Amino acid sequence: MRDVYVLGIGQTIFGKHGDLTVNDLGAAAALAAVRDAEISPKAFQTAYCGTIFSPPTPVQSILFRLGVDRIPMVTVENACASGSSAVHLLYRDIALGACDVGIALGVESLSAYNRKVGKGLLAIEGDLQGRLALTMPSFFAKLCNRLMEKRGATIEDICYPSVKNHKAGMTNPYSQYKTEVTVADIMASPMIADPITVLQCCPQSDGAAAVILCSEAYYKKNNRKEHRPPVKVAASVISVSGAEDASFDPLEMEVMIKGARSAYETAGVDPAKDIDVVELHDAFSGEELAAYEMLGLCKRGEGVALARSGAVELGGRIPVNPSGGLLSMGHPLGASGVRVVIEVARQLWGEAGANQVKGARVGMAQMLGGVLTGLESPVVAGIQILKK
């Protein structure tokens, strides 16, 4: 396996862009990444785009606008890990020597999706459980209930990631929300699925993100940002769950535990002491609280204590979602898996501004998605570890 480097990144501001198409959003992010990398788009040898609800062939529709054509291009769908999967496939192509440089995009317009199918809670179309009203919030409400029953989490603990992440989003120029919230505000907002209120849910968003990855040889020849320390993708894992029976506990999702362990082994890092920053899938506040232990940021059963210690805040031992996370950044589904990777790159380069984790050397980007009948849900996790 060859080393894979981050050459450039770009994104749109996340939020409501009802007047822009997914192609407009994707082209803006791709152009920003090309300008950041200071290379010609003609250099790309392959391209991937993660999305869930876009019209067909977004990757060709977007990249043609930058003069990129006649190279292999694939659009990938993998629930909330769609963007992670685009990054993963590009990483693999470069690591295995199939190409030297390429772009991974992620894009989504939930404004366009809502115009097409109407507003409402998201469930997987045609799924048995979905037909019986199992939606993303109702699934994660069960996770929150288990956190309270088995981990001693209080409502304050469940709300904590939302409070923390909304605060962090205040100083992120790309975030959808610029509003701080208190536990009282969160619990006063409309109830969606007990105990999940509106302010414990990420917003529906439009946006795009892009990352340009390359081989070591290409990086040495073409990197123009000499002030930036070289940042490598030290591991990339797409982890998929197994068939579900009554032994499954969503507080101990194998898809996340094994996926993270595999990524740590490949990257050669110990999550208890080596990870400096984490950007993860906080579609729901309680989801982040449950993730700490599954990602190995603390011992099993100690996620609530980790949160209460302040360790996951900016300035703490292991800041989680210093960008503001999905809760404040917004969550244009297919874009988020790419966005978390470029967020970590920004941190390792020291370019995260007011949201910078001092001295960050190793970071993890994680996504989780897909609630389906028959499989341990969520069904897919995407994990990337970046190192400088």
Partner 1 sequence: MSKQVIFYPGALEERDGKLVQVGHKCRDCGKTSYPAVELCPFCSSGHTEKVPLSTVGAVFSYSVTRVPVGPFKPPILGGYIDLPEGTRVFGQIRARVEDVKTGMKVKVETGVIWTEKDGTEVLGYYYVPLQAEEGGAKR
The size of the interface with partner 1 (CB under 8 A), counted in residues, is 34
What are the strands of the beta sheet with 4-11, ordered from one edge? 73-76, 46-50, 101-109, 206-215, 4-11, 232-240, 380-387, 362-369, 277-279
Q: Determine if 136 is a binding residue for partner 1 (CB under 8 A).
A: no
- Which of 133, 188, 217, 272 is in the footprint of partner 1 by CB under 8 A? 133
The 3-state secondary structure of 39-70, one letter per residue: CCHHHCCEEEEECCCCCCCHHHHHHHHHCCCC
Contact between 252 and partner 1 (CB under 8 A)?
A: no
The bridge status of strand 232-240 relative to strand 101-109 is unpaired
Is residue 193 near partner 1 by the rule CB under 8 A?
yes
Q: By CB under 8 A, tell whether 55 contacts partner 1.
A: no
Q: Between residues 96 and 121, which has the closer beta carbon with respect to partner 1?
A: 121
Task: Provide the minimum distance between the beta carbon of 157 and partner 1 in the complex, in angstroms, as a whole number.
Answer: 18
Question: 101 vs 158, which CB is nearer to partner 1?
Answer: 158
Handedness of CA 195, 196, 197, 200 (dihedral sign): positive
Catalytic position from the list 80, 144, 159, 201: 80
Q: Give the CA distances from residue 109 to residues 44, 54, 119, in Å, rounded to whole numbers and listed in that order.
A: 25, 7, 13
80 belongs to the catalytic site: yes
Whose Cβ is closer to partner 1: residue 138's or residue 222's? 138
Residue 6 makes contact with partner 1 by CB under 8 A? no
Stretch that binds partner 1, among 119-127, 172-180, 261-269, 279-287 (CB under 8 A): 119-127
Beta-carbon contacts of residue 127 (< 8 Å; ≥ 6 apart):
134, 372, 373
Q: Binding of partner 1 at residue 118 (CB under 8 A)?
A: no
Instruction: Indicate whether 386 belongs to the interface with partner 1 (CB under 8 A).
Output: no
Q: Does the protein bind partner 1 through residue 379 (CB under 8 A)?
A: no
- DSSP H helices, 239-324, are 254-267, 285-294, 303-308
Cβ of residue 184: shortest distance to partner 1, in angstroms?
19
Q: Which residues pair with 233 in a beta bridge?
A: 386
Rounded to a whole number of angstroms, the minimum distance from the CB of residue 24 to partner 1 is 31
Query: How many CB atoms neighbour CB 47 within 10 A?
Result: 26
Footprint of partner 1 (CB under 8 A): 120-121, 123, 128-129, 131-135, 137-139, 141-142, 145-146, 149, 190-194, 242-248, 250, 373-375
Catalytic residue list: 80
